[in-house]
Amino acid sequence: MHNIDLRSDTVTKPSVEMRAVMALADVGDDVYGEDPTVNRLEQKVSEMLHKEAALFVPSGVMSNQLALKCHTQPGDEVIVEEESHIFNFETAAAAFLSNVQLHTVKGDHGILHADQLPAAVRSSVYYNPITRLICLENTHNKAGGTIYPLEVIEQIHNFAREQNLALHLDGARLWNASVATGIAPCDYANYFDSVSVCFSKGLGAPVGSALVGSAEFIQRARKYRKIFGGGMRQVGILAAGALYALEHNIQRLAEDHQKAKLFAEAMGGIDGFMVHPETVQTNIVVIDIAQRNEPAVKILSVLKAQGILLSDMGRTVLRAVTHLGVSLDDVRHAAEMIQQILK
Same domain membership, residue 80 and residue 156: yes
Same domain membership, residue 222 and residue 86 = yes
Residue 3 forms part of a structural domain: no
At 294 the pLDDT is: 86
Domain annotation covers residue 97: yes
Q: Are strands 194-198 and 166-171 parallel, antiparallel or unpaired?
A: parallel
What CATH number should be reported for the domain holding residue 30?
Answer: 3.40.640.10
Of the three residues 229, 248, 267, the one that is the final residue of a domain is: 248
Same domain for 180 and 77? yes
* pLDDT at 59 (0 to 100): 97
Q: Are 226 and 281 in a shared domain?
A: no
Q: Is the dihedral of CA 182, 259, 20, 309 positive or negative?
A: positive
The pLDDT value recorded for residue 1 is: 60
How many domains, the chain? 2
Q: What is the pLDDT of residues 80-118, one digit of tens each?
A: 999 999 999 999 999 999 999 999 999 999 999 999 999
> 47-56 as b/e, with b when 16 or more CB fall inside 10 Å?
ebbebebbbb
> pLDDT value at position 217?
98
Q: Does residue 7 fall inside a structural domain?
A: no
Q: What is the 3-state secondary structure (H, E, C) of 287-305?
A: EECHHHCCCHHHHHHHHHH
* Residues 216 and 315 occupy one common structural domain: no
Q: Given this model, what pLDDT does residue 299 score?
A: 92
* Domain carrying residue 16: 12-248
- Residue 96 covered by a domain: yes
Report yes or no on 240 lying in a domain: yes
Same domain, 194 and 112: yes
Determine, yes or no, domain membership for 2.
no
What CATH number is associated with residue 321?
Answer: 3.90.1150.10
Q: In terms of domains, do 123 and 266 share one? A: no
| Ranges of residues in the chain whose predicted pLDDT is under 70 | 1
Tell whether pTM > 0.75. Answer: yes
Kindly state whether residues 244 and 256 are assigned to the same domain.
no
Nearest to 310 by CA among 285, 290, 329, 274: 285
1 inside domain: no
pLDDT score recorded for residue 295? 87
Residues 96 and 235 placed together within one structural domain of the fold: yes
Domain boundary among 248, 268, 300: 248
Answer yes or no: do 38 and 132 share one domain.
yes
pLDDT (0 to 100) of residue 2: 81
Look at residue 111 in the predicted model and tell me its pLDDT.
97
The string of pLDDT tens digits covering residues 325-341 is: 999 999 999 999 999 98
Are 307 and 280 in the same domain?
A: yes
Q: 95 with 241, same domain?
A: yes
